[in-house]
Amino acid sequence: MQPYELSLAAAADAIRARRLSPVELVDSVLDRIEKAEPHLGAYVTVAAEQARRAASEAEHEAAQGRYRGPLHGIPMGLKDLIDVSGMATTASSRVRAGHRATADSTVAARLSAAGAILLGKTHTHACAFGLTTPQTRNAWDHGRVAGGSSGGSAVAVASGTATFALGTDTGGSIRVPAALNGVVGLKPTYGLVPRHGVTSLSRSLDHVGPVTRTVEDAALVLTALAGHDPRDPASLSVPAADYRPVAGTDLTGLRIGLPRTYYFDNVHAQVGTAVRHAIGQLEALGAQLVEVDIPMTRYIQATQWGLMVPEAGAYHEGSLRTVPELYQEDVRILLEASELMSAGDYLRAQRSRTLMRAEWARMLEEVDVIAAPTVPMPAVGADEETVTWPDGTVEGVSDAYVRLSSPANITGVPALTVPVGHDAAGMPIGMQLLGRPLGEPTLLRVGHAYEQTQPARALATAA
């Protein structure tokens, strides 16, 4: 096994035991980038020399006995919405031409302090306003979509060109590409991870979180990221915590909600089968399955759009007037149309969110976790725009990809996607675990228990 193939936890153990040096690990991943990146398009920028210098410093620290923790010397990618001092934050859009961040975002600063090494900035669907990331190719099949908007981060982690990465998630933008590329993605509780220095799509829906190869890895990254920052007005005052899950697989006493409605409607048959099989594994580990009815399903898309579209329009108001021609067309027209929504539309969405949060809180009194598909279908071909369901319903690809993930953005509950298999074409399938606000330890425990029952996953093979 080459160093670039190691999970974060395995690489951390090897670095701590001095069996692997940060220089060896970073060199291995940079070599992998050189070979695979031309086929993938996951990165906007690779900062190879900077990464090698940082690896050398990390190795020097380790040699002197200064070990910063499990992220010490671990190479990672940051979605290019996340500010790193001295580097451009392009948002994968020409609107940001000439941009240069003057300070680190909170998450970049925290990862740096924890010893992680920046490899480069990963592609996003332009301005994070889309679900496909067309610049980037799926790690398992280059003719299929990467998913988005954190497509570059998911493809990099899946293909071995980053040991972990950060993404952002406004309607599913961590979980969708993670599921489509067979990696783990965590959208934390709203406010748990500060967004200071992260380009916004929609302030009341935006989250930052890890994309990793395993659930344990996601927990290690979350431990470094979580914690209050007053510069993000939504940031929660919660004490620092170690999120690494316990090793055991016993889920006795845990109640897992199996949705009777919504999450299994208009879902690809092989996705439904794989996710139900994985839920069966959780039951075999001792969990009790409890059927639940998802509340207010008729209003999910309306609430998501009623919040996201005006908030995105507000964020881009200035540049839409000064440099509209620099926006990608699919983003520009949504921003223009956002200007025609009323304050009443937005306030109804905020009031609907109040009702939905209360209903979800009631549902989550009955169960500890809800288990469901992450997305209704695996990665589609890059030129496909719609999907037709057996009942004749025609749905836009982006609408379908966001459908099962947006409830967690509206309500702020944490949501974790875990790979649970592949379809007949070999494309990955993800199971989504949703929990109570600040219920990350439970989600990570369940996801980790499931992973321990499965063989270790290999890297994507298409690159």
Partner 1 sequence: MSAVELTPPEAARWAARAGLVLPAERHAAVAAVANHIHSVVAVLRELDFADVPPAAAYRAGEEKHDAAV
Nearest-approach distance from CB 206 to partner 1, in angstroms: 14
- Token pair in block for residue 265: 């409607």
Q: Check binding of 328 to partner 1 (CB under 8 A).
A: no
Q: In this chain, which stretch among 62-70, 93-101, 225-233, 241-249 interacts with partner 1, using CB under 8 A?
A: 225-233
Cis peptide before 149 (omega within 30 of 0): yes
Cβ-Cβ contacts under 8 Å for 248 (sequence gap 6 or more): 449
Q: Give the residue, chosen from 19, 49, 239, 321, that forms a contact with partner 1 under the rule CB under 8 A.
A: 321
Q: Check binding of 299 to partner 1 (CB under 8 A).
A: yes
Half-sphere exposure of 100 (CA within 13 A, CB side): 3
Contact 18, 66 (CB under 8 A): no
Q: Give the residue, chosen from 12, 84, 221, 309, that forms a contact with partner 1 under the rule CB under 8 A.
A: 309
Contact 168, 126 (CB under 8 A): no
**23-27, Cβ contacts within 8 angstroms, sequence gap of 24 or more:** 23/52, 23/55, 23/56, 23/58, 23/59, 25/55, 25/73, 25/74, 25/75, 25/163, 26/51, 26/52, 26/54, 26/55, 26/73, 26/75, 26/117, 26/119, 27/52, 27/55
Q: In this chain, which stretch among 102-110, 145-153, 214-222, 401-409 interacts with partner 1, using CB under 8 A?
A: 102-110
Beta strands in 81-144 (DSSP E): 117-122
- Token pair in block for residue 64: 């002197």
Nearest-approach distance from CB 96 to partner 1, in angstroms: 20
Nearest-approach distance from CB 301 to partner 1, in angstroms: 6
Q: Give the residue, chosen from 214, 303, 417, 442, that forms a contact with partner 1 under the rule CB under 8 A.
A: 303
Q: Check binding of 161 to partner 1 (CB under 8 A).
A: no
Q: In this chain, which stretch among 108-116, 132-140, 215-223, 378-386 interacts with partner 1, using CB under 8 A?
A: 108-116
121 noted as active-site residue = no
Nearest-approach distance from CB 191 to partner 1, in angstroms: 9
H-assigned helices in 114-263: 151-159, 175-181, 215-225
Q: Check binding of 238 to partner 1 (CB under 8 A).
A: no
Q: In this chain, which stretch among 136-144, 328-336, 379-387, 448-456 interacts with partner 1, using CB under 8 A?
A: 328-336
Q: Give the whole-angstrom CA distance, residue 397 versus residue 213.
A: 25
Nearer to partner 1, 305 or 401 (CB): 305
Contact 157, 212 (CB under 8 A): yes
Q: Check binding of 350 to partner 1 (CB under 8 A).
A: yes
Q: Residues 28, 149, 159, 200: which is the catalytic one?
A: 149
| Alpha carbon 333 to chain centroid, angstroms | 26
Nearer to partner 1, 70 or 428 (CB): 70
Q: Check binding of 337 to partner 1 (CB under 8 A).
A: yes
Q: In this chain, which stretch among 107-115, 150-158, 173-181, 208-216 interacts with partner 1, using CB under 8 A?
A: 107-115
**H/E run at residue 364:** helix 343-366
Q: Which of residues 271-290 bind partner 1 (CB under 8 A)?
A: none
149 noted as active-site residue = yes
Measure the CA angle with vertex 206, ends 201 and 212; round to 5°: 115
- In terms of Cα–Cα distance, which of 236, 237, 169 is closest to 202? 169
Contact 312, 338 (CB under 8 A): yes
Size of the site for partner 1 (CB under 8 A): 44
Q: In this chain, which stretch among 21-29, 119-127, 340-348, 454-462 interacts with partner 1, using CB under 8 A?
A: 340-348
Q: Give the residue, chosen from 320, 371, 433, 446, that forms a contact with partner 1 under the rule CB under 8 A.
A: 320
Q: Check binding of 243 to partner 1 (CB under 8 A).
A: no
Q: Residues 79, 112, 153, 204: which is the catalytic one?
A: 79
Q: Check binding of 217 to partner 1 (CB under 8 A).
A: no
112 noted as active-site residue = no
Q: Check binding of 86 to partner 1 (CB under 8 A).
A: no
Q: Check binding of 349 to partner 1 (CB under 8 A).
A: yes
- In terms of Cα–Cα distance, which of 443, 432, 404 is closest to 287? 443
Q: Residues 92, 173, 202, 398: which is the catalytic one?
A: 173
Q: Give the residue, chosen from 63, 97, 113, 238, that forms a contact with partner 1 under the rule CB under 8 A.
A: 113
Nearer to partner 1, 34 or 242 (CB): 242
Instruction: Indicate left, alpha or beta for 127 from its phi (over 0: left) and psi (-120 to 50: alpha).
Output: left
Other beta carbons less than 10 A from residue 328's beta carbon: 17
379 burial type by CB count under 10 A (0-12 exposed, 13-18 middle, 19+ buried): buried
Q: Check binding of 204 to partner 1 (CB under 8 A).
A: yes
Instruction: Indicate left, alpha or beta for 438 from its phi (over 0: left) and psi (-120 to 50: alpha).
Output: left
Nearest-approach distance from CB 83 to partner 1, in angstroms: 13
- Token pair in block for residue 100: 């240069």
Nearest-approach distance from CB 7 to partner 1, in angstroms: 26
List of residues contacting partner 1 (CB under 8 A): 104, 106, 109-110, 113, 194, 196, 204, 227-231, 233-234, 298-299, 301-303, 305-306, 309, 320-321, 333-334, 336-341, 345, 347-355, 357
Q: Which residues are catalytic?
A: 79, 149, 173
